[in-house]
Amino acid sequence: MRGRCEAMEDFWVFGYGSLIWRPGFDYVERAKARLAGYHRSLCVHSYVHRGTPERPGLVFGLDRGGSCVGMAFRVDGRLRQKTLNYLRARELVTNVYREAVLPVRMADGRQIRAVTYIVDRGHAQYAGKVDAAQAARIVSNGHGQSGPNVDYVKSAHEHIAAMGLKDRWLQDVVSRL
């Protein structure tokens, strides 16, 4: 009976890239939150959504170290399986990310646990640390099933800035596009 009850409880999803502005699932609450131990980085070669294996794009991943301010979404527990199925189809298409449930601190001080997707540094698509000029070149040439890589990076920058966050490296990349 315990498992059935847990499935009905609301749960949280932490978004740090396109999930911030385009979650793609229903939620009942959305709030700014910080994940410790990982930072947002354009560190993943995109072979599907924003590039191809021949002309990869560059998308965000949560990489080790630092912290990341993003958006936490509370999802009705009755939608758990539907939401997780959607997220897994979106985020785990090439398995460059690992699904994890990690502690997140909400802007109002609440401590929650949220499903999020962190980069697998051992995966072939892991790009590591890329300088701004190289990142801009990769992004400029990337185009995948979800559209131009440039649109993704510019939209991410716009939404991250709208949250009141400054990312000088990302601003440098965007200024080169």
C-alpha–C-alpha distance, residues 87 and 22, integer Å: 12
Asked if the model's pLDDT at residue 4 lies above 50, the reply is: no
- Report the pLDDT value the prediction gives residue 6, as an integer from 0 to 100: 52
- Report the pLDDT value the prediction gives residue 3, as an integer from 0 to 100: 47
pLDDT band at 51 (very low <50, low <70, confident <90, very high): very high
pLDDT band at 1 (very low <50, low <70, confident <90, very high): very low
Kindly state the average pLDDT of the residues 31-43.
97
Asked if the model's pLDDT at residue 7 lies above 60, the reply is: no
- Report the pLDDT value the prediction gives residue 110, as an integer from 0 to 100: 96
Give percent helix, percent strand, percent coil of the chain, each to the nearest 5: 30, 35, 30
Residue 97: burial class (beta carbons within 10 Å; 0-12, 13-18, 19+): buried
* Residue-range domains of the chain with CATH: 2-171 (3.10.490.10)
- Report the pLDDT value the prediction gives residue 8, as an integer from 0 to 100: 83
Closest by CA position to 114, among listed 87, 151, 78: 87
**pLDDT tens, 89-143?**
999 999 999 999 999 999 999 999 999 999 999 999 999 999 999 999 999 999 9
**For the whole model, what pTM was predicted?**
0.91
